[in-house]
């Protein structure tokens, strides 16, 4: 599991890193731990990030629409100086996995780490979850959040509504392990038909929410047409 500690206080961040390392070693869990000290660095990291499993961050760093949108797909533990500061951050669109008052207590953090690890393990075995490996680390996310897979520059690019994740695989193998919602529409694209919002057969394009679209190959036009028809019947009868 990858752990990102986002804290402007280097002393506190160092203590949290030590606790996470000791906890991981105790439970024989392989972890990569990184410390980020500034909000600007957090923005840059989140823009370039593939997929982070656990983020431990102070409230000042996780504020902001872009970061909040990215954090929806992560396990997040938030630190603040007062309970009021922590509660003001929580909203229907952002619900952290845990809240901690600074300075963080070892027992509190270990308890929350235990809860996160349980959920992470459940996610790895849950139906309709997709797992992938990046730098020997295994990650999981719901198949229902994946818009499409693209074969690009000898890698696979997984696209969700908020990010792109690069890893090594083939579209042929992916289609064999994913659920039936994923269909091939092009030699370079495997799409989640359940998230398609519009199909333009005239210009051979498939559209998703947020202005995202991908091309359709004539080779796969018949397959797409049948699947699109089935989806419309399912939605509207």
Q: Convert the pLDDT of each residue in 81-115 to its tens digit.
A: 999 999 888 887 778 889 999 999 999 999 999 99
**pLDDT mean across residues, the chain:** 86
Burial of 206 (0-12, 13-18, 19+ CB in 10 A): buried
Question: Coil, strand or helix: which one is 214?
Answer: strand
Task: For residue 190, give every residue at least 6 positions away whose Cβ sits within 8 Å of its Cβ, in sequence order, or none.
Answer: 148, 149, 150, 171, 174, 175, 178, 182, 183, 184
Q: How does residue 39 score in pLDDT terms, banded at 50, 70 and 90?
A: confident
pLDDT in tens, 214-225: 999 999 999 999
Asked, as a colleague might, if the bond just before 103 is cis with ω within 30 of 0, I would say yes
pLDDT of 229 strictly over 70 = yes
Q: Mean pLDDT throughout 222-232?
A: 90
pLDDT in tens, 124-146: 666 688 988 887 777 888 899 99
Q: Could you give the CA distance from residue 75 to residue 97 in angstroms, rounded to a whole number?
A: 6
Q: Could you give the CA distance from residue 97 to residue 119 in angstroms, rounded to a whole number?
A: 10
Q: Mean pLDDT throughout 33-62?
A: 79
Q: Which domains does the chain have, with CATH numbers?
A: 2-125 (3.40.50.2300), 143-236 (2.40.50.1020)
User: C-alpha distances in angstroms, 164 versus 64, 74, 135?
Assistant: 20, 14, 16
pLDDT of 121 strictly over 80 = no
Q: Could you give the CA distance from residue 70 to residue 85 in angstroms, rounded to a whole number?
A: 21
What pLDDT, on the 0 to 100 scale, is given for residue 218?
94
Q: Mean pLDDT throughout 32-55?
A: 77
> Other CB atoms closer than 10 Å to residue 141's CB: what's the count?
18
Least confident of 61-75, 161-175, 197-211: 61-75
Q: How does residue 117 score in pLDDT terms, banded at 50, 70 and 90?
A: confident
């Amino acid at each position: 599991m990858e752990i990102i500690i986002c804290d402007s206080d280097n002393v506190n961040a160092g203590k949290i890193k030590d606790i996470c390392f000791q906890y991981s070693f105790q439970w024989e869990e392989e972890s990569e731990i990184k410390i980020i000290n500034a909000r600007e660095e957090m923005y840059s990291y989140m823009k370039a990030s593939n997929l982070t499993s656990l983020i431990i961050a102070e409230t000042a760093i996780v504020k902001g629409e872009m970061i909040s949108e990215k954090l929806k797909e992560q396990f997040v533990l938030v630190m603040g100086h007062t309970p009021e500061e922590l509660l003001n951050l929580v909203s229907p669109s952002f619900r952290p996995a845990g809240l901690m008052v600074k300075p963080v207590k070892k027992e509190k953090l270990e308890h929350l780490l235990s809860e996160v690890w349980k959920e992470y393990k459940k996610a790895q075995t849950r139906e309709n979850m997709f797992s992938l490996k990046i730098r020997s680390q295994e990650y999981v996310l719901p198949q229902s959040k994946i818009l499409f897979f693209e074969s690009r520059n000898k890698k696979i690019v997984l696209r969700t509504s908020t990010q792109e994740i690069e890893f090594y695989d083939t579209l042929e193998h992916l289609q064999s392990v994913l659920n039936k919602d994923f269909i091939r529409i092009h030699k370079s694209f495997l799409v989640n038909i359940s998230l398609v919002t519009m199909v333009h057969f005239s210009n051979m394009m498939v559209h998703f929410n947020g202005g995202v679209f991908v091309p359709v190959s004539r080779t796969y036009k018949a397959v797409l047409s049948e699947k699109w028809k089935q989806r419309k019947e399912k939605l509207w009868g």
